[in-house]
Each structure stands twice: as C-alpha cells, then as structure tokens.
Amino acid sequence: MAEIATVKPLNFNHKISIEDAKEALKRSGYLLECRVAEVLRSAKYLIETNPLYFDPITNKKREIDLKALNFFEIHSKKEKRVGLVELQLILECINNSQPLTFIKNTSTHDDTLNSYYGLQYKAVSGLPHEMPSPKWDTTSSVAGLVSIAMCSLEDDLDEVYTQYCNFKTKNKPSNEWMAFHDDFQQDCFNALCTVNEQDIQESNAFYEKLSYKNSLNINLHIPILIVQNEIWVVSQDESQDIEIKQVNFVNYIRSTASSPNMDAQGTHIYVVTENFLTTFLKEELGKKIKRIQDYCFEHIAKDKNGNIVQL
C-alpha cells in the first residue's frame, strides 16, 4: 500500500519579510527578465516567455528566459516586396553583482575574426535554396547572400572575445579578490548555444521540405545575454600593462559541445547591458537589417518566371 504523503505546515516563525523579499528579488534576474520583455514589446517584437528546450547533456527539458521575433520587409528596385527578414532572438537575463569581464587575446585575434564571420554565415536559414545570377552565371544560398551583404560591416566591427571571467572575494582572513567562472553564467551561455543550435537545425529541416523560389525568406538567429550591471573589457600590451574599459556590449564567441561525443562548435553571442538594450536593438541589430535590405534592393530581382535571382 502506498504511503500517504504528509505536507509540512508553514513555519511562520521563519517567514520572509516583505522588505527581505524585495531585496531577494532585486538580487535575482526575475525582475530583469520582465523589464527586458517590456523593452522588446515596445520595439514591436513578438515575445515568448520561458519556452522549453531539450538539454542533451542532462536529458531533461529546461527553460530559456525569452524568445523574441520580428519581421522586416525586403524590397527590390522593380518589385514592391520580394520577401522578409525574420529576426529570431534568444535571450537569457542575469543580474551580475560584479562586472562581467571579457579578455582580449591578441595572439589569436585574426583567427577569432575569421571564426566570427564563419559563424555569421552559419546563423542564417531560409529560402530559396539557390538564387541564380544570370549576369555572373553563379548561384548563392540565402546564407551566402547575407554573408555578402554583411561584409561591409567589417570596418564597423568591435572587438571579438573568446574568454571571460567574473570576480569574487576569497574566504577570510585574506578577503583577496579572485577572477573565476561563475557556474550560473556558464549555464546561461551553454543554454543560449544549445537553443540556438536547435533552432537553426529545426529551421533548416523545415525549409528543406519547401522548394518555392518566388519569395526571399531570411532568418537571422541571434542569441543574447542581457546583464543588469556593468560589462568590462580587458586588454594587455607588450609590457603586460592591463587596461580595463567599461562598455555597453561585446561580441563573444562561445565554444561548446552539445554532447560528450561531439566536437566543439562555436556560437556568436551578443552580451548587452540592460541600459543599452533599446539602443542595441535599434542601432546594432538595425544596422544588420538595413545592410541586408539595402543589398537586396540593389541586387535582388525576379526573372520572367517570378523566381528570385541576383543581379
């Protein structure tokens, strides 16, 4: 016979006070998540809060904080509208009590930049699968088109980082500060990588079943970590002098393996302060969208059969 579960009564002698509850909530990321959702809604994004994803490491379903979706029309010189850019944001939100700090590795900077551009190519899905160019007798994928459109962003690119840390004090008596990797922040980065990879795979699988060529659909998959407080970047010159600067956002490349038997894969993650989010959506992401729209306006048309081609 099954045991009957007993419920322990609340211990009102140890009940949290309203003021303590407020302080606990301020230290958490729950309120930040709500504020970020409101910023995204104000920017005309469609919001999904706490969607589930499958974590292949733990074999369990987990939550990601937010997903957001927005659409931008693509026009060409001859047609009013030839397609859409679909911006798919994946967001985690953290309240960092100490500055989240990113470290520039100058010895591998060129390799890091090359990796960055490769990841921009990978983070695109859509249709048509091929866009012929009658003028040059070549074809390009949606990802290839976006890569060409984005190449002019190189001069505007801020530094790309592959290493980060946080800070805490050691145990008494020394109370010295030490740099370390926070487990919760590690989990947030890993979740962004996993969900981003799964979303791209699902999107590609969906589009592989379709074959239409008369409309241009460009999906940009963009993972973002929102931090409530400061972001620092660190550089070191040849004399090992250290410079630390406060910034509003960074481009971070995270290397992860979705399972123990798989090779590591890189993911480009934007790390953005809460105060800069509105500007980031409008200016940084807006710049990406405008480059794609401008390129398509000049270089995309429809042939006599109504199919998308490149000029």
Residues of the chain with pLDDT under 50: 1-3, 5, 155
Phi, psi of 189 (to 5 degrees): -60, -45
From residue 107, alpha-carbon distances to 85, 102, 103, 242 in Å are 36, 15, 12, 15
pLDDT of residue 152: 52
Contacts of 11 (CB under 8 A, 6+ apart): none
Provide long-range contacts, Cβ within 8 A and 24+ apart, for 22-27: 26/95, 27/95, 27/97
pTM of the model: 0.87
3 state SS of 270: strand
Domain boundaries, the chain: 56-310
Task: Please tell me the predicted confidence (pLDDT) of residue 155.
Answer: 46
From CA 3, how far away is CA 6, in angstroms rounded? 9
What type of residue is 287? K
What SS3 state is found at 100?
A: strand
* Three-class SS state of 48: strand
The residue behind tokens 């990406």 is 288
**Contact predicate 65/50, CB 8 Å:** yes
Q: What is the pLDDT of residues 210-221, one digit of tens each?
A: 877 888 899 999
pLDDT in tens, 182-231: 899 999 999 999 999 999 999 989 988 887 788 889 999 999 999 999 99
Give the number of other CB atoms < 10 A from CB of residue 212. 13
Angle at 299 between CA 296 and CA 303, to 5 degrees: 105
Rounded to whole angstroms, the Cα distance separating 70 from 87 reads 5
Task: Round to whole Å and give the CA distance between 145 and 279.
Answer: 26
Q: What CA–CA distance (Å, rounded) separates 279 from 282? A: 5
Strand ranges inside 59-99, DSSP E: 60-63, 66-74, 83-94
